[in-house]
Structure 1
Amino acid sequence: MSSTLTATRGSVTVGEATRTFTLVGTAAPGEAKPLILVFHGSRQTGDKHRAFTGGVFDALAARGALVAYLDGYRGNWNDARRESRFPARRADIDDVGFARAVIATYASDRRIDPGRVHAVGYSNGGQMVIRLAHETPGLLAGATVIAATMPAPENFLAGQAPWTSVPVLLIHGTKDPIVSYQGGTMNWALRTLFRTGGRSWSATRTARYFAERNGITTEPTTTRLPKRITADPTEVERTTYEAKGVPPVVLYTIHRGGHTVPGPSSAPALIGRTSHQLDTADIITEFFHL
């Protein structure tokens, strides 16, 4: 799919820094397409994450959106975890400003609709999406967080702007060896390797947190999805939080899944199984009505 789509390199200036990204898809002035901002994981770039996922998010461009694979600073994002120690934090990189600048670039001539901007983040990128959801009310029409969970309150530094309800899609594997589905604190080796730490909540508590922020107080409904591929040992469970008049929150639990993005392409086995029982681009399209 990736080879049939236009991919171009772009850049914006944030303060005195030049920030780069890869844009997949094309738009003429006035077309007002949705914009998908993709935030990669630690030690990746936008292009590396695109390859890592087999270009799964390119499908969103094929369906009419613009997809921007953003490049972090020296492989990371300045997320909101107190114990982050990678270069983006040490240099106090303005990644919130980066997201705003990319949106402004394409909104200036209505190539994108600023009311239909969605952020998708994996791992450290998922933490960046969590930061955006808290600090930029009204900026995002939807947030997708993959293989990342809410930092515990004592580990969370995001500014507390007035909350604007936003639909949230969460995807997490129960056998994630890096970011535990059950929450807690990374072991010493992982804290050293990824230069971050601190306590985080479980995936289920994270989902409930966002549901409550959106004003949902009813119990969720949980459905085990039918297996699409018998040979794939992973299984998928969908937990939906919803209430009338407010955006929903959905958690896809990938049983036996690892620190991966579900889709057609498998990540290295070292970080756990990749589920092929669902396609992340498909569930993003369905959940956010793209």
Structure 2
Amino acid sequence: MDIKRFPEKMGDLPIDFSNPKRTLISGLFQETAKVGGQPRKFLTYIPEDLDYCQPCLVAAIPSGEKPEEYLETSGLKAFAEDKKLFLHLATPETAWNADGSDADYLNAIYVAIQARDFYITMQDNIYLCGIGDGSFAAHQAARRMASEWSGLMTFGDLNGDLNAEHTALRGESDQGEVELKVMGMAAQLPVWMSMTAKNADNTAAVDFWKEQNHVVGTPLSGEGADEIWMPTPVRVLSEVNEEQIAQVRLAVRENPFTKEQMEAAWSYISLARRHRGPGKKQLRYFKEPIACGAEKKTMEVDGMTRTWYEYVPKSCTPDKKWPLVVVFHGRGGTAETFFDLSCVSTVAEERHFIAVVPEAGVYQQKPNGLRNVLLWCGIYQDTPVDDVKFIRELVADVESRHSVDKSRVYAMGQSSGGMMSDLLAYTAGDIFAAVAPWSALRCPSKMYREWPACEQHVPTMMIYGDQDFLTAGHGEDPILPFCLSEELRATLMEKLETYHLDPANVETWKTEPITWYAFPDKQGVPMVVIGRVDNMVHANYPEESWISYDQFLSQFHRSENGTLYYRGRPVNESDV
């Protein structure tokens, strides 16, 4: 298969507005990862008509193979096309070695593929694969960055003792505008190992991952595996944010690398995804929207096909009116990925509301770069994308088909989705009773048009991480008991002034890991609440969805005559 060159100006490529998140290129391309400051090459295969944010598989192929030929003869090309994957082929400089440099190379690929220069991936669903003598380097890489990878599968005998790997885990690093935070910490990790025999090195690796994943008891078998080691059933912590799901599966085969073994391994490790949150990243089963019972909906707005997932619990019967919560993904994300990230369907199911997860319009993140990075209120060819119009039409469409309580329509979202949530509080108070933006507030400098301010004062609760370099400020604020970035602070102070709230009148309390700051009005109604999460980067986590709905959004509703109510009491907005 021929190796192509990436276009020099991705911005010149046309967008298919029937599917704005479709990749603009396909085929086999050469890329470079930096290892210890030195470049090393790898190949990326992008199947035709692949959508952004699909899973990535980084494969360390056997030494001595020409990657462009091995891609086809090994079945990896067909596998990527069938599973709808970004496939990244790593090759050794001569032969795979056990000194750790090749492990660093594989981990450098993890970083490189998130640059958003030619396609868009997510750090939540990147998996590692080793084939033949590439297997041990894959295990070393996974050990060094277990907290980053979502799963590991290897097909071949190991040529080193994983327990003898004493190199320190990779420290934190940032990758600028993609908000990438690499922790490199010890963590549970789904593992599949196919081998020819249980020799000493293979057994050492199995034992290491068993300890890492806290497995107990005797193994099960099935689904292509001879042994399935399960994690302990004892749960000390809640599993709202991280689920203890990492197993160790192994199969002994005369030929470890077959299509059947690949299928069996992928059917297991692809179940898990790893998401950012407080502290280290959190492993959870992937909540695929359709499998969870959501419906995919589309409409055309200004020539662009707009998409959303709609989740209606069976308890939300047409004989009653139910709240509606609109949930917005961040820059570069999709409706599918945020349905999973937010776990909003679980909250909707237990709290009995209708959840809608829409997909943003487009914009160009980098000069000459992709023009179809998904962003709320973006721009295409100097024409702003009117996402407020889209959301108004979406809400009207949902209300026309479902029994929606129009007094209890809410918005929440993260990053760009947080900005969108707060923008709707600013300009669409006739629809939204309260909003909960995460990691953001309305940022006029990051929007490409202006919207008129609405008459209503919409209650707002923002949650952000104290390690969020895009949101958290530095040092001490002269007035506020917390610090925000300059533009977010300006938006907050404008909101406090508009709502007639005293920035010095702050109620503060701590519920681990969040420190809360509430700005009440003269009636004691918390019209603006800020939550700062300890040890969290630019991220959100499932518990935020629960907190936002239970502790804030559900406390408010706006009657048909426009009166805002807090816990059933009318709010005198002239005093707000």
Unaligned ranges ≥5, structure 1? 80-85, 184-198, 228-234, 264-277
- What corresponds to 1:22 in structure 2? 309
Deviation at 1:18, TM superposition (A): 2.8
Q: Describe how 1:1-290 pairs up with structure 2 within 5 A.
A: 5-26=292-313, 27-53=316-342, 55-56=343-344, 58-73=346-361, 74-79=372-377, 87=379, 90-108=382-400, 111-151=403-443, 157-177=449-469, 179-182=470-473, 201=486, 206-217=491-502, 219-225=505-511, 227=512, 235-245=513-523, 248-263=527-542, 279-289=544-554
Deviations for 1:32-87, whole angstroms, at most 9, x for unmatched residues? 2111111100111111112234x2453134311111110112442343xxxxxx55
Deviations for 1:129-158, whole angstroms, at most 9, x for unmatched residues? 222222223221111111113436898853
Contact 1:216 1:241 in 2 (8 A): yes
- What corresponds to 2:205 in structure 1? none
Name the CA distance, whole Å, in 2 between partners of 1:236 and 1:93: 35
Contact 2:517 2:530 in 1 (8 A): yes
Give the structure-2-normalised TM-score: 0.39
Deviation at 1:287, TM superposition (A): 1.1
Name the CA distance, whole Å, in 1 between partners of 2:510 and 2:527: 18
1:210 maps to a residue whose letter is K
3-state SS, counterpart of residue 289 of structure 1: helix
Name the CA distance, whole Å, in 1 between partners of 2:532 and 2:488: 8
Name the CA distance, whole Å, in 1 between partners of 2:373 and 2:310: 18
Over 3 Å counting, the alpha-carbon distance change for 1:28 and 1:155 in structure 2 is: closer
Unaligned ranges ≥5, structure 2? 1-239, 241-286, 362-371, 475-483, 556-576
Deviation at 1:102, TM superposition (A): 1.5
Over 3 Å counting, the alpha-carbon distance change for 1:289 and 1:154 in structure 2 is: closer
Over 3 Å counting, the alpha-carbon distance change for 1:92 and 1:30 in structure 2 is: farther
3-state SS, counterpart of residue 172 of structure 1: strand
- What corresponds to 2:123 in structure 1? none
3-state SS, counterpart of residue 108 of structure 1: helix
State the identity %. Answer: 21
Give the structure-1-normalised TM-score: 0.72
2:499 maps to a residue whose letter is N
Over 3 Å counting, the alpha-carbon distance change for 1:91 and 1:31 in structure 2 is: farther
Contact 1:238 1:250 in 2 (8 A): yes
Contact 1:126 1:147 in 2 (8 A): yes
4+ long deviations beyond 6 Å: 152-156
Deviations for 1:208-230, whole angstroms, at most 9, x for unmatched residues? 443332222261111122x3xxx
Deviation at 1:180, TM superposition (A): 3.0
**Which one scores higher on RCO, CA 8 angstroms, separation ≥ 6?**
1
2:409 maps to a residue whose letter is V
Number of matched pairs: 245
Name the CA distance, whole Å, in 2 between partners of 1:90 and 1:154: 14
Deviations for 1:161-215, whole angstroms, at most 9, x for unmatched residues? 34311110100111113x13118xxxxxxxxxxxxxxx96365654444333222
3-state SS, counterpart of residue 549 of structure 2: helix
Name the CA distance, whole Å, in 1 between partners of 2:414 and 2:335: 11
1:181 maps to a residue whose letter is A
Deviation at 1:249, TM superposition (A): 1.0
CA RMSD of aligned residues (A): 3.1
Over 3 Å counting, the alpha-carbon distance change for 1:7 and 1:252 in structure 2 is: same
Deviation at 1:14, TM superposition (A): 2.4
Name the CA distance, whole Å, in 2 between partners of 1:116 and 1:253: 26
Name the CA distance, whole Å, in 1 between partners of 2:358 and 2:383: 18
3-state SS, counterpart of residue 37 of structure 1: strand
Name the CA distance, whole Å, in 2 between partners of 1:44 and 1:250: 26
